[in-house]
Amino acid sequence: MQAVVKCHAREGLWMCDVAKPDPAPGEVLVKVRKTGICGTDLHIWNWDEWARGAIAVPTTVGHEFVGEIVELGRDVTHLSCGQRVSGEGHVVCMHGRAARAGRPHHSAQMEAIGITLPGAFAEYLVLPAANVVPLPDAIPDDIAAILDPLGNAVHAALSFDLAGEDVLVTGAGPIGIMAAAVARHAGARKVVVTDINPGRLALARAVVDATTVDVSARPLADAIGELDIGDGFAVGLEMSGAPSAFDTMVDAMAPGGRIAYLGIAPRPMLVDWTRIIFKSLIIKGIYGREMFRTWHRMIALLESGLNVEPVITHRLDAADFVSGFEAMRSGRAGKVVLSWPPGTSVAARRSAAERVEA
């Protein structure tokens, strides 16, 4: 089968022929339909310090996917061939303390599809049956392909009660934008999204009814005054990883406010804890999704009308994955969705025909 692989210890990814996997007992084989490019995949492409320490060469990458079960491993009885599914990319055993306490997403004994295990940027993917999430027909493939990052947004946004509250989202990347949409859908009174990228802020406005602030051009305090936020935001969702964004958020929070912190700073950062203590702020670190509570919650949100479809800005054939990564690296893309197998989409067939005619 064809797969996108980290073949060499340098910048880039490559489409390669690899062996089609067979499901072991307790696993399923999924024929992949669509995949989403994640920021993690971009780190792997760039071969940065994190990727060099986390990725073995060669590794098939990718972990955002939707597909169809085509084969069941021995002892899998609760699933069936033909089911349309996505799945949790974190693979954990149930022997550790966190997992046995009902918090498998906190497990120290964890592997990850597309990082330490063969990934979803391939025609077929094997994953544990316990990680499979069957999907309702109401969720189209394009959205199903990005449930993984939507889950991060849902986990962060629903960490605190949002109904009637004013919410600040720092960072208008795809997950930040989706978190803002979740906050609005969950009943937030006012939602403000900040960034320094005008294109990302425009995308945020296309996805969610929110006020956007380019903090490189105007102070957030001006917007707070104009919106009659009062003594500050009740809930903050830090999605950027920028130390300056966190500082701005702390200043903008109301006393007793609550912050869900998903952004990852590129290096250790200084924090003025005095301001946090004097404001009695609550900070919750967010990593991934709650297994599997978040999956149930985000599917219910989508079935009840949550719309994040506009966050998908690029739909490409898997054969054109390089263009997808170029769009991501440019900073102008939202989510990029690839169709599998390579070369079978309408656009890809048209392109191939045009090359033949030429």
Please give the positions annotated as active site.
Answer: 40, 43
Q: How far apart are CA 82 and CA 344, in angstroms?
A: 20
- Check residue 267 and report its DSSP letter: S
- Check residue 61 and report its DSSP letter: -
Q: Provide the residue count of the chain.
A: 358
- Residues linked to residue 68 through DSSP beta bridges, in sequence order: 31, 84
Q: Would you say 73 and 23 are in contact if contact means Cβ atoms under 8 Å apart? A: yes
Neighbours of 103 (CB within 10 A): 14
- Check residue 310 and report its DSSP letter: G
Q: Distances in Å between the alpha carbon of 47 and those of 42, 53, 147, 298?
A: 8, 9, 25, 32
In the chain, the amino acid numbered 261 is Y
Per-residue burial over 321-353, b if 16 or more Cβ lie within 10 Å, else e, is beebbebbeeeebbbbbbbbbbeebeebeeeee
Q: Would you say 193 and 204 are in contact if contact means Cβ atoms under 8 Å apart? A: yes
Instruction: Tokens for 115, please give them.
Output: 């990082």
- Check residue 133 and report its DSSP letter: E
